[in-house]
Amino acid sequence: MTVNVKTPVGYTVVRSATIGPVCVVATEAGLVSCMGFSSSSGDAEVETWLNVVLKRIADQVDLFHVALGDEPNAGTLTDEAAVSTTATATTTNAAKVLKNYLNCVDYSANNKAQEQEPQITALHAFPIDWAFVSRFKGVAPDSLQMKVWKHMRSIDAKLCDYSAVAKAAGSPTAIRAAATAVGHNPVPLFVPCHRVIGKDGKMRGFSFAGGLAVKRILLKMETGKVFIK
């Protein structure tokens, strides 16, 4: 008899006064998804998104909510899933690292100085479970899309354009495909797709709640530059 062992997947929501709530999703091995929501979004919107993003492998996961210290039910798990203390810890740590980064965003938006580099470094160094990402996104581990996502973790505050991303991913002529991969980044902020801009210096797009307005905020904080277009 074959036993179907499901993957424990935890999720929680971190809130920013500047860019709104952000949901992080993690397995025992690392982060697998990150998504921003409008400031008016509640639990129902987050749960709907989770059902959509994990639809491909819904029968292979045990999804549970991890309450943070500022929530009424902190320290509890809201679902009766087969809870993994390791996945809980990974989710909590991802939320902590993200919260420190978002605090920098909020300070910057209010023109207050705060040391940013340690928080940015910690965010971009947080482990990502690429094997699980491959499963739930249906993307081959050796695909251009996956190579683009992995490369973007190495983009520093100097920024880069889409053609440079395509070249770094091993397909210098596949600029349009690389741009599409950037737009489908499953873990924005942790994988800094907001640092990819057009060769002409224009911001182009950002597939995160708030779009280009949020991209401007992030780039101003990280680079000190003000982007208009």
| DSSP state, residue 5 | P
Q: Among 64, 65, 12, 67, which Cα is nearest to 34's?
A: 12
Distance CA 142, CA 151 (A): 13
> Does residue 49 contact residue 150 with C-beta atoms inside 8 Å?
no
| Helix-helix angle 85-109:211-223, to 10 degrees | 80
**Integer Rg of the chain from CA:** 18
Cα of 150 vs its chain's centroid, Å: 13
Active site residue 160: no
Q: Residue 34 in contact with residue 60, Cβ under 8 Å?
A: no
Angle, alpha carbons 219-223-224 (nearest 5°): 95
Return the active site residues.
193
